[in-house]
Structure 1
């Protein structure tokens, strides 16, 4: 499961096309932008997998900077409440599919399908420095997870992933945005089963039957950096290190590595920017 690259490329990458000018320029930012993006990454097949694979994607994108619904630097989100100290969003995330034919531990088992997440995310800003455009947040998302083979959709449970995140704007050049975050990940039994359960039909030598349990999935440190190259072209890079020591389902035969590493790189080209602009008095982090 490619938990890093899909949010980075499908959700965060649309915001790559923000112009190279400072976010609080007098005219403000375009309310609507459209463009093309592409990228890829070297990514683990699922949490605690022992194998990584290359995964890539090219896609059209749309940025909308509305009062409630936004698709921007922080992904696709619905803003229920937002202030300098507290924010409440409806957040989205997702993951690429993974073929069991390409994974030794899951050989002969069902593939892991496309996955999507949606749910509320509470943000508490613990520290902010407007002069240097920095802030430290405690982010508390809870999301429902769904999977799809593009013919049907299945509910897979819930995740909770509290994260302490540092952000800095205009790093190295105007319009640059750096973020690094760390925190644990917890999941319900249904999602743990999706990753780690081995049913009677999937038992093989070295792969005994196993029923997964809800609880602690692992801890991750992740970072991303978005850099505008021109007013229309931008680059995004990201990475993640995950540790699974003490995870609830270490005993699963599908639990194969206590460390996972992911890297991803993408770019976006904005071919349309609306004449309508958002308010220049908005927070630079919005």
Structure 2
């Protein structure tokens, strides 16, 4: 049995924490006059995730992870941002955004049995965010992220590029609950689409013919999030996502077994330490 790779495990933990911190952190200014400049804590969560858009099977994951949040003027690790925020005006920001998905073993997915495993993918790259205005007590925003895709299970091997234009709405309630919803289109280059949907000739079978994937639409995506502060230090959060591959570039791949698929998750976060200094914004 191969020995665990500590470096890879730490990278996976940090990546997952970065992806889930937006749900775990406070969304409203606290009673002391604003959010803290930095916070340190931990979160635990469980996820039931569609193996990949178009798959007819799911994978389950549960983890306990540390997180660090920093809300500086330029250096940010906050709300799916990690790195330098290069531009900020009243309506436009440019920063580095994160996304990702857990991997799955091909022996557990009938459609991919005998093929290489799908690794845990983490995506990061530049993102433009436009504030579109306010309505019904919340805010609309357009995100345009261009992300490089890397495989944590294979030494951060580059798997291609993705683009995910997204329109989202978020509202924070007076009772401490925050909720949001968004709709987006995930577009991949040929390399990442080949990773998800290509079937090389050596992996072809009688019911899984060879298939050469092309660049283009991966999936339409509808997502909802919900979170609430139980106390100043404890927070619960949940999310749900629906993927639809209607009109996708590789809808005819033998690895696509169904049109719709869902992902759900729930978790709890605890803030152990926070600064007395307030965030820049």
**Normalised by the size of structure 1, how large is the TM-score?**
0.87
Q: Distance in 1 between matches of 2:24 and 2:187?
A: 33
* Contact 1:178-1:225 at 8 Å conserved across structures: yes
* Contact 2:81-2:95 at 8 Å conserved across structures: no
Aligned to 1:63: 69
**Normalised by the size of structure 2, how large is the TM-score?**
0.88
* Contact 1:234-1:267 at 8 Å conserved across structures: yes
Regions of 4+ moved over 4 Å: 6-9, 15-20
Q: Distance in 2 between matches of 1:166 and 1:248?
A: 28
Query: CA offsets, 1:227-252, max 9 Å, x none?
Result: 11111100110010111111111111
Alignment of 1:140-159 (within 5 A): 140-149=144-153, 152-159=155-162
Q: Distance in 2 between matches of 1:19 and 1:164?
A: 22
Q: Distance in 2 between matches of 1:122 and 1:63?
A: 21
Aligned to 1:116: 122
Over the aligned positions, Cα root-mean-square deviation in angstroms equals 2.2
SS at match of 2:111: coil
Structure 1: stretches of 5+ with no match in the other structure: 1-5
Q: Which structure would you say has the larger RCO, counting Cα contacts within 8 Å and 6 or more residues apart?
A: 1
Q: Which has the higher helix share?
A: 2
Q: Distance in 2 between matches of 1:263 and 1:247?
A: 22
Q: Distance in 1 between matches of 2:210 and 2:111?
A: 13
Structure 1 residue 213: Cα displacement: 0.3
SS at match of 1:105: helix
**Please, which of 134, 139, 146 is the counterpart of residue 138 of structure 2?**
134
Aligned to 1:200: 201
Q: Distance in 1 between matches of 2:95 and 2:227?
A: 22
Structure-2 change in CA distance of 1:30 and 1:135 (3 Å): same
Alignment of 1:64-79 (within 5 A): 64-76=70-82, 78-79=84-85
Q: Distance in 1 between matches of 2:26 and 2:111?
A: 45
* Contact 2:149-2:158 at 8 Å conserved across structures: yes
**Please, which of 164, 172, 175 is the counterpart of residue 173 of structure 1?**
175
Q: Distance in 1 between matches of 2:191 and 2:76?
A: 30
Q: Distance in 2 between matches of 1:262 and 1:8?
A: 18
Q: Distance in 2 between matches of 1:177 and 1:107?
A: 41
Structure 1 residue 163: Cα displacement: 0.9
Aligned to 1:38: 44
Q: Distance in 2 between matches of 1:164 and 1:7?
A: 27
**Please, which of 105, 127, 133 is the counterpart of residue 99 of structure 1?**
105
Alignment of 1:8-19 (within 5 A): 10-15=17-22, 18=25
Aligned to 1:213: 214
SS at match of 1:149: helix
Q: Does 1:273 align with 2:279?
A: no
Q: Would you say how many aligned residue pairs link Structure 1 and Structure 2?
A: 269
SS at match of 2:263: strand
Structure-2 change in CA distance of 1:100 and 1:127 (3 Å): same
Query: CA offsets, 1:236-280, max 9 Å, x none?
Result: 10010111111111111111111011111111111111222224x
